[in-house]
Amino acid sequence: MRLEGVLAQERARLQLEGELAAGRLAHAYLFVGPQGVGRTTCARALFAAANCQNPGETACGACGPCRRLAAGSHEDFLVVEPPSDSPSAQIKVEQVRQVIRTLSFAPFGGGWRMVVIREAGRLNPASSGALLKTLEEPPPNNILVLTVQDPREVLPTLVSRCRRVNFSPLDPELIMEELVRRGMDPGDARLKAAMSGGSLGRALELDPARLRRELGRLQEHLARPGGALEDWELAEALVADHRGATIDRQGLAQTLELWAQYFRDQAACAAGRPTAALLESSPPTPQHLPRLVEAFNQVRRAQNLILANAAPELCLTVLLSELRRRLRQP
Ligand SMILES: [Zn+2]
């Protein structure tokens, strides 16, 4: 049976479909891949296929289990996740203990039960410890799925008890098509897809108006006459936009990602490949290709420095004056 609703991920899908067809599902899986590429969606599709009462080419979507799953009310499909998106939020031992208590009863619907532990790298030591024994030998008809971005996030003893399934970043074109299919404006969809890093989840969270504003700011800045003082002022303003209790370096790096994409597009246009451009508003410029490639590299370097804790105002000022110098040369 085909797993439905999973975007791309051919390899993962074929593996799970094969194991389902052969009646050889594992009792514990490790789904490895970036956030937002469909790991939980795939787990849900596997659950649907395994529990559907009228299985055809796919799960029927109409029987009791299919309908309860679609409504988010299937009592045997459980998701455990960190309490918030903050990188320091951990999955608490009480969350794990609750799951273990549930597993001691047979699945209520009489079919398979699935527990998805999302971002299992955020299990704290006590939670990991509590999970170990269950993972080794869960009661029958239960499947545990741990999602991680990298197996090194979790204890080797957890990894060794799970069967691994690999997920890859999605092609930006595919993400764009999916966003348009969901009714999004094609221009917004293209911009979001270009900035998604191959993650549909990330693409959905991005705000295209904000991305355009941030790009416009760079373009205006580079078009205006000015010097180091103006560069420093823009750098300060950008850092201020990303300052909360601490500086949001990931957020700043994302702004730089947008700049990098912009120069990448300009380079593609300068090289006579306008169709390779990812952002919708990239008019070709007469800049020489090598300068644009160098501008791209400089943005990338600044991005790495900022992520490595360098002083962001200084990095950005140096970057802006370098860009100005390079792109202004006759
Ligand atoms: Zn069904």
Residue 111 has pLDDT above 80, yes or no: yes
- Ligand 1 centroid–CA 66 distance in Å is 4
Residue 70 — very low, low, confident or very high, per pLDDT cuts 50/70/90?
A: very high
- Ligand 1 centroid–CA 69 distance in Å is 9
Q: How far is CA 192 from CA 254, 262, 278, in A?
A: 12, 13, 9
Query: Could you tell me if 121 and 88 are in contact, meaning their C-beta atoms sit under 8 angstroms apart?
Result: no
* Angle between the N-to-C axes of helices 289-307 and 249-270, in degrees from 0 to 180, rounded to the nearest 10: 170
Protein fold of 10-166? Rossmann fold (3.40.50)
- Ligand 1 centroid–CA 51 distance in Å is 7
* Angle between the N-to-C axes of helices 208-223 and 312-328, in degrees from 0 to 180, rounded to the nearest 10: 60
Cα 213 from chain centre: 23
Residue 286 — very low, low, confident or very high, per pLDDT cuts 50/70/90?
A: low
Instruction: Quote the percentage of the chain above a pLDDT of 70.
Output: 96
Rounded Cα distance between 274 and 282, Å, is 9
* The domain over range 207-328 is classified in CATH as 3.30.420: no
- Ligand 1 centroid–CA 65 distance in Å is 6
Residue 265 — very low, low, confident or very high, per pLDDT cuts 50/70/90?
A: confident
pLDDT in tens, 41-58: 999 999 999 999 998 999
- Ligand 1 centroid–CA 7 distance in Å is 20
pLDDT at 284: 60
Q: Kindly list the domain boundaries of the chain, sorted by start residue.
A: 10-166, 207-328
Query: Could you tell me if 179 and 193 are in contact, meaning their C-beta atoms sit under 8 angstroms apart?
Result: yes
Residue 12 has pLDDT above 90, yes or no: yes
Structure tokens at 18: 């094969």
Query: Could you tell me if 4 and 57 are in contact, meaning their C-beta atoms sit under 8 angstroms apart?
Result: no
Residue type, 258: L
Tally Cβ neighbours within 10 Å of residue 32: 21
Q: Is 140 exposed, middle or buried (0-12, 13-18, 19+ CB in 10 A)?
A: exposed
pLDDT at 276: 65
42, containing H or E segment: helix 39-51
For the chain, give the mean pLDDT.
92
Rounded Cα distance between 256 and 303, Å, is 6
- Ligand 1 centroid–CA 76 distance in Å is 15
Q: Specify the higher pLDDT residue, 189 or 276.
A: 189
Tally Cβ neighbours within 10 Å of residue 300: 16
Q: 3-state DSSP call for residue 146?
A: strand
pLDDT in tens, 169-218: 999 999 999 999 999 999 899 989 989 989 999 999 999 998 888 889 99
147, containing H or E segment: strand 142-148
Residue 258 — very low, low, confident or very high, per pLDDT cuts 50/70/90?
A: very high
Residue type, 82: P
Q: Do 10-166 and 207-328 come out as alike in CATH topology?
A: no
pLDDT at 132: 92
- Ligand 1 centroid–CA 15 distance in Å is 21
Mean pLDDT of 89-109: 94
Query: Could you tell me if 112 and 51 are in contact, meaning their C-beta atoms sit under 8 angstroms apart?
Result: yes
The model's pTM is: 0.82
Mean pLDDT of 289-317: 95
pLDDT in tens, 220-241: 999 888 889 999 999 999 999 9
- Ligand 1 centroid–CA 144 distance in Å is 21
Cα Rg of the chain (Å, integer): 24
Query: Could you tell me if 101 and 95 are in contact, meaning their C-beta atoms sit under 8 angstroms apart?
Result: no
- Ligand 1 centroid–CA 321 distance in Å is 61
pLDDT at 244: 86
